[in-house]
Amino acid sequence: MRAAGQVSDEQHAAFRKAQEEFQPRFESITSQITEIRRSHRDALLDLWKEQVRSILQPLTADIAREFPDPQVTAWLNDVNEDVATRRRRAIEKESDFTRIYRVNAILTHDDHAPCPIVVENTPTMSNLLGTIDHTFARGEMLHSDHLMIRAGSLLRADGGYLILEARDVLREPGAWHVLVRTLRTGRLEIAPPETVFPLAIPSLKPEPIDVNVKVVLLGESETYYLLDEFDPDFPDLFKVLADFARSVPHDEVGILQYAGVLARIAKEEGLPPFDRKAVAALVEHGARIAADKGKLTTRFGRLADIAREAAFICDKRGERVVSGDDVRQAVRRSKHRADLPSRRFREMLVEGTIRVQTTGREVGQINGLAVLHAGPLTYGFPARITATIGPGSAGVINIEREAALSGAIHTKGFYILGGLLRHLLRTDHPLAFDASVAFEQSYGGIDGDSASAAEICCLLSALTEVPLRQDLAMTGAIDQVGNVLAIGAVNEKIEGFFDTCRDLGLTGKQGVIIPGANAGDLMLREDVVEACAADQFHIHAVDTVQDALECLTEMPAGVRDAAGWYPQGTLLGLAVLRAWEYWLKASLVAERPRAVTDNVPPRRAAASKKTRSRKPAAR
């Protein structure tokens, strides 16, 4: 049976019985072997850890002694434990895994260094907060680690000052929000940049960092007021407001400062030196830009441009020192490059296309003064203003406003004109006339109130039929009681009318009427000053409308007496009389003549009823 390879049933039963008796013993032996293997593995691992620790402990102990900080000690202990428990296979394969233990010092401070002052010219959200870079190798996913964390401006300015341009911060998406949040909480959270990979999820989230930084925002006053009104955090975070003046006093200190700035520009840019006359010419130009009595502008950028061009002119002449003539020529050249509209306007004046009179007298017509701007430069030119009047009840009409060409300030000035007219006349009856005032040959928008003084003089000329001198131009604002108020660009306006008079022919009688408050702001061109000194051009400074009327009409304007009446033979007295006549004519349209004459005010009963009170006493 055995030779045939067959097992009997009795043998199979015996084998099964022996197997069942041996199975528990086999399992026990297997369990013992497994335990021995586990114990051996644990013993080897413990030996590995003990050996690793014995090697690393002395090394890390030196670092811990050099940097006795609890966080440093905890980090070194974590390094030891990580190497001992997780880096065995990396060590066995001799692969470099030390990158994960390298320190990324994103910010360092020297103990003796001054506090940092950081100027951020590109305040994007990443540049302010910092960022986490990414690498992308072929066949791999987007990857980043702690060594790719980069500090931003807020962290680099920790313990110091961060200077930002307010407009730049507001223009960058999210920048203002993260800036305010960091300042409010005092904790900086570095975030990864927005990525074009929609499936890439950053695996790092650095712990927030406590920061102490002072942020200085630079900007216009309008930006400050908008933020103060609409951002509830802004008043609490930015509590110190500092206004920088656009001018400095025109005194010895201011002149020395100008000279110092000019010397620095010449030194830094390799320009030739400037003599004292060149410095004086730049000071004069600075006073002209400031356009304020006793002030010099602090817009040194414009002055630096003039200085550079003056140095170029000096070099072209082959000289080694910049003179005052070089500076003045640079100023003339800078204006000439941008004065094409002004030159074209003057050409049309000479050709007669634009009608402006600089001689003679006209009723209801006056030369006002306006300006146009070409970048930072301003040019003045005359604007013919006319007024017409007749009986009616519409009052004074501003044609510019009716044509939707009047700006808000010009409209306000025109309403003030109406108030001043009532103040000057003070009639016992309503003002019953229709009058219109217009800027002739002006087809664009008009704004500003600097023509309101000229408009009231023009309107009174139309009312009284007293002609105004056309060889005088006028500028100035008014109030409701007749004061002539200061305006801007007075130098440019005077020069604009002077150029017009010179182009059309100087007569020796032409000039400009300006507010007395602007007299100290004058800083005119040399040719204008020379013409005034030669009695070829005149500048009249007035304080009231009455003074201006006397210059324009060469007749007394009139002052009220104790009874409130203007003397006869005065301009305002005639204006009161003509206003009464217009009221009389307007009344005759609706009533019978007898009823009207019966209603003549007793205080005006100086003429007979046959003449229908043509000559009432002037008031």
Q: Which domains does the chain have, with CATH numbers?
A: 22-101 (no CATH), 117-237 (3.40.50.300), 250-337 (1.10.8.60), 357-553 (3.30.230.10)
Residue 216 · residue 237 · CB < 8 Å: no
Checking 74-81 for CB contacts under 8 A at 24+ apart, the result is 80/52, 80/53, 80/56
From its phi and psi, is residue 519 left (phi > 0), alpha (psi between -120 and 50) or beta?
Answer: alpha
Tens of pLDDT, residues 419-473: 888 889 888 888 878 888 888 888 777 777 888 999 999 999 999 999 999 999 9
> Residue 322: beta bridge partners?
274
CA-nearest of 483, 487, 418 to 449 is 487
User: What distance in Å separates the CA atoms of residue 365 and residue 264, rounded to the nearest whole number?
Assistant: 52
Residue 175 · residue 124 · CB < 8 Å: yes
Tell me which H or E stretch contains 297: strand 295-297
Tens of pLDDT, residues 543-576: 999 999 999 999 999 888 888 889 988 999 999 9
Give me 310's structure tokens. 């003056």
**Judging by DSSP bridges, how do beta strands 365-374 and 472-474 pair with one another?**
parallel
Give me 541's structure tokens. 């400074």
The structure's pTM equals: 0.70
Q: In what side-by-side order are the strands of the sheet with 433-439?
A: 395-398, 433-439, 377-391, 365-374, 472-474, 511-515, 538-542
Q: What is the pLDDT of residue 601?
A: 46
Neighbour count for residue 607 (Cβ, 10 Å): 14
Residue 209 · residue 188 · CB < 8 Å: yes
Give the pLDDT band (50/70/90) at residue 180. very high
**Phi first, then psi: what are they for 250, rounded to 5°?**
-85, 75
Give me 534's structure tokens. 């030669």
Determine which of 91-105, 114-128, 518-532 has the lowest per-residue pLDDT on average: 91-105
User: What distance in Å separates the CA atoms of residue 276 and residue 274, rounded to the nearest whole number?
Assistant: 7
Tens of pLDDT, residues 131-166: 887 776 555 666 777 778 888 899 999 989 999 999
CA-nearest of 502, 439, 513, 442 to 473 is 513
Give me 284's structure tokens. 């004069």
Give me 216's structure tokens. 């200085």
